[in-house]
Amino acid sequence: MILKTLYKSGYLSPWNIAKQIAFEHKKFTDGDWYHKTQKINSVLQRRGGRLSELEKKQYIQNTEKGYRLTIYKGISAALLLFKEIEDSGIDELPILLQHVDERLQPGFKETWELYAEVYQKKEMYQELKKATEMLLEEGLDFDVISNNRFNSRMQTRLGEEMIKEMKLQKDRPPLKPEVYAKMLSAFEKIREAFSEQVKELEKVMNSVENSLRKIEKAKTVNGEIKEET
């Protein structure tokens, strides 16, 4: 219930999680919602309680804004609880940008927004749910796997499914010219960012090579290599 509540709302404090659960179950008479919420909140927050357990297993994360689902282990776990994919209150982009190099952020942001323009969020989540079910069938231990490791497995699985669809020629109709233009713009920003990183890497490599030459030169005396003592 916690996962579904956070899926719909995005960020919530423990009290608001408890309140929404209480209203969802409607296990109270009019005017008694506060006491029911208080009881649920106590269970959620007690030592070794459900919030602590879910956070330890990396399904949820406690932030300054409140608890939220982890991306994408928490979201994937929540999706399994829905028969039909519902609208989500999660804004993934700001969270993802925290883990992207500053120089890559403009291109990443533009690519993300473009993808969201072409594909509906519910459609993307349907594919995520399908891939999660496949991983579980393959023996994935959801409670044990870390969020980072899960994301790595998920990327591989989604990539494999995309290749299969392309081979079966189930790809979408050609995109509109303006979409291609946006794609080129986003890729150009990413290319420029990587270009700067390559230049910096080359500087480091040149510095290392120069240092090695100086060391070799210092070890050479009258054309002979002087062994280090």
Mean pLDDT by 10 residues, the chain (229 residues): 92 93 70 82 88 95 94 93 89 79 74 70 86 93 93 82 60 58 61 62 72 71 50
Structure token pair of residue 180? 């291609």
**pLDDT at site 105:** 75
Bridge partners of 66?
Answer: 63
For the whole model, what pTM was predicted?
Answer: 0.69
* Cα–Cα distances in angstroms (integers) from residue 136 to residues 56, 80, 83, 97, 142, in the given order: 20, 11, 17, 28, 8
**pLDDT at site 155:** 81
* Cα–Cα distances in angstroms (integers) from residue 158 to residues 62, 162, 191, in the given order: 28, 6, 24
**pLDDT at site 229:** 43
